[in-house]
Structure 1
Amino acid sequence: MPSYDECCVLLPCSTLEDFPSDASEEDARSLLAAWTVLWHPKLISENEQIPTWYRADGPPDTTTGNRVIVVPRSSVSMLPDGFEQKCRDNDSIKWIDGANRNEMLGKLSDLLPQSFQPLQASHRTASVEDFFALGYAFLQVQVMTRRLRYTSNLDEIYFEKCVVSAANGFIQGDPEATVTSLHDAFDCLAQERDHYFTSDPHLIDLTLLSDSTLEKFFGSLPNSNETAPNGSDAPSPTSDREQEGVLPTPTNVLVDQPIAKSIQNLGSEKVTLLRNLIENQSLGWAGGGPSGDVSLSTETYTGAENQITQAFGETSDIVGIRPPVYARYSGSTPSDMTKVIASLGVAGMISVDFANGTGFSDEAKVVQKGGSVELHTLSAKPIDAASEIPFLAIGAKLGEAIDSGEIAVALMVHWPSLEGDTYRLLRTAASWSLVLGRCWTMEEFFRTGEQPYHHNSSINTAGRADLELTQRVERGEPDPLSRLARQTKQSIDQQNQAMLAAMLEIATGKKLPAGESVEDAERLSQLARAIGLVPSSDKSNMCILNPNACPIRTQIEILGDPHRDKQVYASSGSGKQSIVTVDVSAFGFSVIRNEAIGQSTGRTIGQRIRDVASGTGWFSSTKPIVVNDSLLNAFMEVAIDPESGGIKGVYSGSTRGNRFSLRLVSVGNAANVSKMKVKNKDGEKKPIMKADKIKTVTSRLDIGVIESTGSIVDGDGEKIAKFELTYTLRRGERMLSVAAKLDTRASFGDDPWRNYFALRCAVATDAVIPKLIVRDKIHKANSRRLVAPLGILLDESDRQTLIASSGMAYHRRVEDRFFDTLLCAKGESKQDFTIHYGFEVADPVSTARSVMADPLTMAVEPVDVDASRGWLIHASPKEVFVADMKTVTDNQGQLLAIVRLIQTRSRGCNAALQFCRGVAQAARLTRGSHLPTEELLRSFASEAGSNQLTIEKDRIKLAMAAHEVVDILVRFEGTP
């Protein structure tokens, strides 16, 4: 006869369909413990039945029979009045409550007088934990069945018979009978689940590491030659242990670049142990990503590629094995870097930013596309394995994913040795059956697991890139804004230098000596000679070289008058010199020729007098660029506000009316706002900008400069910052330069997005669409906090305004029409900045880059008109950007160039790439341009005959998809 007639738990729900899926941590732990504790084999064996449950507000009759009643914390408030006291006063009732399973087991000690040791069967062990795991699996299957509105097909009589048989075998010390019956019980649950779902959920156990947890992690690892119990180290679904009835429950670890370096610092023994466990498949892994302080959102495309490949290479070198799956602990990885990551040879990638809790999507496993390359991506929302809350209804959530046609994945994440009780039960259940899913190593999950067919629809900008600024400020890093601007400029300067070297090599057909360090002036001189120009010391003929990917309009001074060639937009005199506005092609050159070729240089008195008649010299009636407090050229009129010192209005384009205004603003507690009386239309108190002086610095036909000085004041007129704004507009240009100097000792709050000084511009319409220039592409913004080091394109359907921020990466949309470019925040010491604003520029990406790099100039000997302008590389249409170029040579010494083209817009196009010399052969590089020369040439040989490129003498034609990045390897004709 059993000691108790029934073991039951009182649940805080009406049916299992209402079983709580969300609760506090304490309630979840108590609830799951209350359900599983009654599945102790001693209780089941004595009662000869499985536990049951009742509603907390409808408990069983306590006047008949002996019962064990377990009450979780969340059910106490639902009990009928006086019920608990009646049970405690009744000797036939065993009342159990507690915060966790161990506490409840302690209160059952009189019914469980002895400890029960695991039993060793022929192929596995059986312990009390296995019964708890069986009870948990039973709960999840029942909740899933009811929540998804299915009818249960579980043979409850047979299932109960198997459970009781397993419990009896365990109490009697019969390991074979116990294990056999447990297998049968788990198989019953698996068949019940299989009745509705033919695919299995996927369980991934991922351990995160930090410097402070490495010792604990290595202390918990088995020796590489040891085998963990229950097959937890088994590597794959086809292992011998699985065939014996023990399913593998492998664990995985995330090792990115900084963690790999930390492991290396612990000594070679730790590195060897990690490598051995990975090689014998006792441990799965992912990683290779850069550290969290590397922001891929603020890099150029090539810069982001270099960061990823360098970090991946360093991780591979330290561990001695290449990570099979790309991942990083902190920092997001934008989806447009898919091609780069795929070129590393990985099976897949994890898109989640674990440190900031971003990067996951509604679907757990998707196909991520980058141009013509596809890569499987794990984008499941991480589950905290140390918490009990996610495991309340994990079965139902996985079932819902399968029911909707998705791949069901539970990505269980935890720190070393920080694991919840129910997490361990789930892993235990997974070693018996696939009822709640299969555990995978990362590599096997991507290579042999269920393959996705849904594509990732997320945009290419990195999720929550704005958090990186907040983290920099929190860490107390100096110059969190301007330091990034300097890095951006340095990166573009390096790319321009590399481009200049490549232009020289293409022009000469020869590879420069390896490791040669040459100044730009010397390289320019070499390039000039290569294109038929002869350097000179006489500045009457000047050559302008443009290493940028977009045509530019710039100004240069020469001695004498310029010849009226096609590249000369306009000129005006200044003493013996002429100031010439000249057009230069992308990757091209223009020579300004002196009109008096072969004669004395310098503008004579007669020439200066003749300027009067043409309206370009003394006493000319042509207006200079500065008129009163306005700047005017052929493309715009900029009116300076005499009261604030900001821009009152810009009039440009075919649409009438003011389209743009600008002012300095102080946001948050960058100022003392306690006494402010100045209010905006909504009644909010704000500082105001007040000009003390506006003066014209320069007013000529070629350039106009207006300077305004003043202060930002609060409502009582107290100065919180002094400012100096310098507005510069040049002849024939669509870009307005605004140089700002701030003098402030204001204290800033800790949140840089709410406490800052900024340049705030306003556009005319509320329907403006901000588009970010990120990694040399134009993307729609999905947040009011905008991160774009090259700037923002404000699209108003009938007109466009470019904010070329020169590396000042952080912007904020305020209301609908206002956009702030952050200048100063906490920790920022730099107080002078230059921002450019462009109106209807033809090529926003290249233009935004060009403002950070001046063209190169040199004096040359006179040339004929046919040799006065040209280009070495030309790409079309304008939206196709030549981002990078480098050269290599093959074994025969032939010159080859690797050219990177980026479609900057989100639409496909037919592109063309033309060179100054003939093309013999060309091929797309599917694995990118960062490979060693030998691999590049092998790739070239294998892909040259299969790619979709058309070669016409010196031109290559190809089709490009939206935002596609294409690397082309080109072999030129006539090289040695």
Structure 2
Amino acid sequence: MPNIEQTIILLPCYSLEDFQVSRNDDESEEILAGWCGLFHPVLLHRTQMLPRWERAYDPPLAPDQALIIIPECSEKNLPSTWLADLPADQVTVIRRFKDLPGLWQAIEQAAPGLLQGVPQDIVDDFIALGFAYLQVELMTRQLRYMSNLDEIRFRESALKAAAAAVMGKAEEAREQLQRGFDLLTESREYFYPVQAYLIDLTLTAETTLGAGLRRELESFQCVNLLTTGHLLRYMAEREPESLAVLKSVLAEGHVVTLGGEEDESVSAILPQPALLRSFRRGLNTWNEILETRPPIYGKRRFGLTPLLPGLLSHFRFEGALHFALDDGKFPVGNQSKLRWEGLDENDIDSVGRVPVDASRPATFLKLGETIGRMLDLDHAAAIIFAHWPSQVSPWYSVLKRVAQYSPVLGRFSSMTEYFRNTQYVGARVFHKPDEYRPPYLAQDVAGSSSWPISKWIRYVRQCAEADALAALAVIRGLITGVWDELSQKLCETAELGWQNADAVINERESTFDPHWPERASALRRNACDSLMALLPQSSAAFGETGVLWLNLSCVSARGYVCRQTGENCEKSSPEQLPKPATFPIPSFGYAWASSSYAVESAKQSQKLESWWRRLFGKASEKPSEEEWVIENETARLVVDKLTGGIQGIYPLPYGRNLLAQRLGMRLGSSMLDADTQDPEAEYSRMIAETIRYLPSTREEPAIQSEGRLVDRQGETIARFTQIVSAPAHLPFFRIRIQLEPRRMPDSNPWASYYACRFAWNDETATLSRSLGWSRTDTERERFESLYFNQVTGGHHTITLLCPGLPYHRMVGPRKLDTLLIVRGEEAKDFELGVGLDIRYPLHAALQLLQPPVLLSVATAPRVPQSAWWLTLDVRNVVVSSLQPVVEGHHLVGLRLALTETEGRAGPVTIQTCRTLSAAYRIDGLGEIVEPLALDGDSAHIQLGRFQTVEVELRFEAIRRE
């Protein structure tokens, strides 16, 4: 081997200013290895000069006594005969080495023993110096600056360090290396005097909690561990050694746990009650296992929603991670830190800088440019390195070694240090709900889920049933003041129901109990029967029969009573049936009505109709005998005799058609001709074969249509049965659909699906959707709404109820598809609702999920005939969570969550059937925030728009003689 007097690397560029740093991992690895490998102390000491780079397009013709490194990406730019013309006795060429160990091996083969004699730890420090030198050069030159590095002093420090290393003087070598790093830091700070924060973000999964995690926790003192309550439990059960290490480093302050929720749930669509439960269970798990709590909220899966800032403030988190590490879209700004404002106008410090992948060499080749651009614009610059335990690029270890010497590329910091050191930095930012786009539907279809849509139906139904059980337990306690075994069982079953619903939505079949709905239904029936004996009953015998309804929901509802309970109601047309009389049932209350009430109500209804006729003449056109019509108190619904869908919904007493509905399959754009412009050509056609009135009762007249869906060639792709009805006790029409697909949709769920399609006549109407339990406007083509959509026009409002059907797509300005079946979906039965001029859409959606319970027929009258046990004085606020406060065997108070749903701030009065001794607003940890004003059985609180708060009420002790 010839004597080496200079070292050169050929780069595929004309200058460092135009050097392309965005490369694939293989090219990045080779370039970094080639550059940093030449900073080996033996090579520096032997050549007595720093390595230099040359253009691969114009390499030196006859370099004398040179060691030349040629990355593979540079070879294609070399002149065709340059390699062949090199004098073999003067030049040593190293090619195709792939990485740093490969480079060492190639040099060793060319010059055996050349690189020996220096400890690897010292060699790694020189590699770190070369890495920092490259990044500073790229940082300054690519961002419009000339290098300000004192090249002479830097070279002297590097060469003195190399000489000391070769002679075995490790401490002296490190002192000289420190001078070199200090010079690089001065050079960088001349142009970028701002501090950069480097944040390690270690991810966890069930498969990464073993030895790799233990090494990570023990070897690095600035670990930010992103985990969940479920993974902590898994660690405690399966990896106790890792848990012991985690507790140890937590006590020493070397690690910060991030998280907050129990599981990596699909929380971006979940309502406020579910989010409260998830945070509470997660924080309880942290306290139980680690005896601490995560100060910063974050999760790996997409879970961003404008509801989060208020809830995180409620649970007293110090900050949040405003990014996700899987699919989905969310707003990203040019600042690392922001003050994230939520829908309820609460805010929280957040990190909005999207992490880089610490396992990819490409991340580290362009690190200098990334840091430079960030320092140029950012007030609290941070770069986050996300990775699984011990699964990182070797260059991440090099960066850590650089940070030990100098903050030239930034200083590693914990997430809590970052928030506390930058507490006065961060612009207040509000992002519209439409800017957050969850990826759940595409993920479920790609993952071959058997219920990508219907799992949401099961989820909302089980949550509604669990809420009803909890309300029933509390009502029993409010009546008697005693917390008995049945009430306790109701609460325990409700808790199991919420956990079961979470298992459904996250598809954890191992923890899912398919028999819970049947057990819960039987328990509720038994509890309702026992409640009959607790309700007040008149001592007088009036000889009058009636009906008793119980409302276990947080919203008011309606019951009905027929004029003649024994009458045969199976007539050919609903028009011939005597209409039942309806009456209100308060939330968390009951109502009793006699049969005579129906007679009086019918008389009042006739007077009202007569008044309308006198005022307007003919109130509304009587439907022809060829029309299929049902009516409720606000509208007339006509079924299309050709399609079997809804031909129109007409407001009463007069008005034009407002809405039409059909079933259809979106066939996919691949089925369209290239010149087809009509979007309707992409859908199947709905053809009715039979339409008939169902043999029904006067309480719910219904029309059933059966038929098929056909494609453009007339081939049957599905059969359908659709039943539209007008329940007397619900202020909307109910639509029940059964689909039997013969052709399944394609793999793209947003382009090929079966849907319930709605079309309205007003192109200027605005569309709003549910975000949790709140209503917010939307302008997106594809969006998620778990409970309802509302179309607001100039004169009327149309409410489309879809509890459990969260995925919707706009087609043009006045058509909406509610997705029913996508690829993999096994469910066939669906239920929706359509209402006209419904003021509170959430109330209607909850009534569809949990209508009032008919306790008994032909019962004795009640005194009073209507009563509530817990109520609010405003309808835009609902009780989203209800929990008992039990001491001994007595109900001594309630803990409830209140959610404002319509965007109207104002005072709220909470009234109970018991006298209150104290009332407090509390945070998510149960600590008192402020006392509330009391007035006997009432407590008063001020709520902001879309805000969720928790309140604890305490009752006066019941005197027992």
1:268 maps to 2:240? yes
- Residue 960 of structure 2 is aligned to residue 961 of structure 1: no
Partner SS state of residue 644, structure 2: coil
TM alignment of 1:258-657, pairs within 5 A: 258-287=230-259, 289-292=261-264, 294-314=265-285, 316-318=287-289, 322-341=293-312, 347-356=318-327, 361-362=332-333, 363-369=335-341, 371=344, 374-447=347-420, 452-459=425-432, 463-465=436-438, 467-506=439-478, 515-517=488-490, 519=524, 522-523=527-528, 526=531, 540-557=545-562, 559=564, 579-595=580-596, 628-652=627-651, 657=656
Note if 1:175 corresponds to 2:170.
yes
1:711 aligns with 2:708: yes
Q: Give per-residue Cα distances to partners, 1:789-833, cap 9 Å, x unaligned.
A: 223233456643322113223323334432222222334333222
Deviations 1:401-439 (A, max 9, x none): 333233222221223333223222211111111111111
CA deviation vs aligned residue, 1:370-397 (integer Å, no higher than 9, x gap): 6586543334312111211122222332
The 1:591–1:461 alpha-carbon spacing in structure 2 relative to 1, beyond 3 Å, is farther
Change (3 A) 1:657 1:16: farther
Matched letter for residue 183 of structure 2: C
TM-score, normalised on structure 2? Answer: 0.83
Measured after TM superposition, the shift of residue 23 of structure 1 is: 1.5
Q: Matched residues in 1 for 2:328 and 2:596: separation? A: 66
* Structure-2 separation of matches of 1:535 and 1:395: 88
For the 8 Å contact 1:560–1:595, the answer to whether it is kept is no
Q: In the alignment, is the contact (CA less than 8 A) between 2:149 and 2:184 conserved in 1?
A: yes
- Which structure shows the bigger proportion of residues in helix conformation? 2
CA deviations 1:763-788 (Å, max 9, x no partner) are 33455554332321224447544333
Tell me, in whole angstroms, the C-alpha distance in 1 between the residues paired with 2:160 and 2:906: 70
Matched, 1:660 2:643: no
Structure 1's 493 and 608: CA in aligned 2 closer, same or farther, altered over 3 A?
closer
Q: Is the 8 A contact 1:297 1:462 kept in 2?
A: no
Deviations 1:262-310 (A, max 9, x none): 4334353343234334433455443453334x32244332222223332
Quick one: which amino acid aligns to residue 135 of structure 2? Q
Q: Provide Cα deviations, 1:874-902, integer angstroms capped at 9, x if missing partner.
A: 43543222212233257997833223111
Q: Aligned partners of 1:683 and 1:788: how far apart in 2?
A: 24
Question: More displaced, 803-812 or 787-796?
Answer: 787-796
Residue in structure 2 matching 1:203, options 191, 198, 204: 198
- Aligned amino acid, residue 546 of structure 1: N
The within-5 A match list for 1:702-741 is 704-730=701-727, 734-741=731-738
Q: Does the Cα contact within 8 Å between 2:339 and 2:347 map onto a contact in 1? A: yes
Whether the 8 Å contact between 1:544 and 1:591 is mirrored in structure 2 is yes
2:807 corresponds in structure 1 to 810
Is contact 1:352-1:358 (8 Å) kept?
no
C-alpha contact (below 8 Å) 1:8/1:52 kept by paired residues = yes
Distance verdict in 2 for CA 1:953–1:194, change over 3 Å:
farther
What SS is found at the alignment partner of 1:851? helix
Question: 1:298–1:789: 8 Å Cα contact kept in structure 2?
Answer: yes
Cα displacement (A) at 1:5:
5.2
Preserved contact between residue 777 and residue 904 of structure 1 (Cα < 8 Å): yes
Q: Match of 2:390, SS?
A: coil
* Residue 21 of structure 2 is aligned to residue 21 of structure 1: yes
What is aligned with 2:517?
none
Could you say what secondary structure the match of 2:307 adopts? helix
Q: Which of 798, 806, 819 matches 1:801?
A: 798
Q: Displacement, 1:918?
A: 4.9
Q: 1:770 touches 1:793 (CA, 8 Å); kept in 2?
A: yes
For 2:245 and 2:81, the matched residues in 1 are separated by 60
Residue correspondence of structure 1 range 752-901 to structure 2 within 5 A: 752-766=749-763, 769-781=766-778, 783-796=780-793, 799-857=796-854, 858-859=856-857, 860-862=859-861, 867-888=864-885, 895-901=892-898
Residues 521 and 190 of structure 1, relative CA distance in 2, 3 Å threshold: same
Check conservation: 2:620, 2:653, Cα contact below 8 A: no
Deviates more, 1:905-914 or 1:159-168: 905-914
Aligned counterpart, 2:508: none
Give yes or no for contact 1:676–1:715 (8 Å, CA) kept in 2: no
CA distance in 1, matches of 2:652, 2:56: 72
CA contact (8 A) 1:544 1:856 kept: yes
Equivalent residue for 1:105?
A: 104
- CA deviation profile, 1:483-537 (whole Å, cap 9, x unmatched): 3312211101221332344345445566556625474564576488556667999
- 5 Å-filtered alignment, 1:81-120, equals 82-86=81-85, 88-89=86-87, 91-98=89-96, 99-109=98-108, 110=110, 113-116=113-116
2: CA distance, partners of 1:700 / 1:334: 44
Q: Which residue of 2 aligns with 1:566?
A: none
- Structure 1 distance, partners of 2:563, 2:675, is 52
Which residue identity lines up with residue 492 of structure 1 in the other structure? A
Query: AA paired with 2:678?
Result: K
**Contact 2:707 2:721 (C-alpha < 8 Å) held by counterparts:** yes
Structure 2 match to 1:145: 140
Contact persistence 1:183–1:432 (CA under 8 A) = yes
Asked if the contact 1:542–1:558 (Cα under 8 Å) also holds between the matched residues in 2, the reply is no
Task: Find the counterpart in structure 2 of residue 39 from structure 1.
Answer: 39
Give deviations 1:14-43, integer Å, cap 9, x for gaps: 443333231222222222223222222222
Q: How far off is 1:759 after superposition?
A: 0.7
Per-residue deviation at 1:665?
0.9
Look up the match of 2:515: none
Equivalent residues of 1:704, 1:729 under 8 A apart: yes
- Give 1:243's aligned residue: none
Residue of structure 1 equivalent to 2:503: none
Partner residue in 2 for 1:568? none
Per mean C-alpha deviation after superposition, the further-off stretch among 771-780 and 273-282 is 273-282
Show CA shifts across 1:145-169 (max 9, x none). 2344345433222222212221221
Return the letter of the residue paired with 2:144: R
Match of 1:696 in 2: 693
List per-residue Cα deviations over 1:651-679 (Å, max 9, x = no partner): 34999644322111113479xx9799998
Residue 711 of structure 1: how far off its partner (Å): 0.7
Q: Which amino acid aligns with 2:383?
A: A
Equivalent of 1:162 in 119, 144, 157: 157
Two-structure CA RMSD over aligned residues (Å): 4.2
Q: 2:212 is matched with which residue?
A: 217
What is the total number of aligned residue pairs between the two structures?
A: 905
Q: Say if 2:56 is the partner of 1:56.
A: yes
Instruction: Specify whether residues 346 and 714 from structure 1 end up closer, same or farther in structure 2 by C-alpha distance, changes over 3 A only.
Output: closer
Letter in 2 for 1:555: Y
* Residue identity matched to 2:834: Y
Distance 1:43 1:515, change over 3 A: same
Question: How far apart, in 1, do the equivalents of 2:624 and 2:72 lie?
Answer: 78
Q: Distance in 2 between matches of 1:267 and 1:822?
A: 43
Describe the SS at the equivalent of 1:802. strand
Give the aligned partner of residue 615 of structure 2: none
Return the letter of the residue paired with 2:203.
Answer: L
- Unaligned 5+ residue runs, structure 2? 491-522, 567-573, 611-617
Name structure 1 gaps, 5 residues minimum: 120-124, 236-249, 562-571, 597-601
Query: 1:142 is matched by which residue type in structure 2?
Result: E
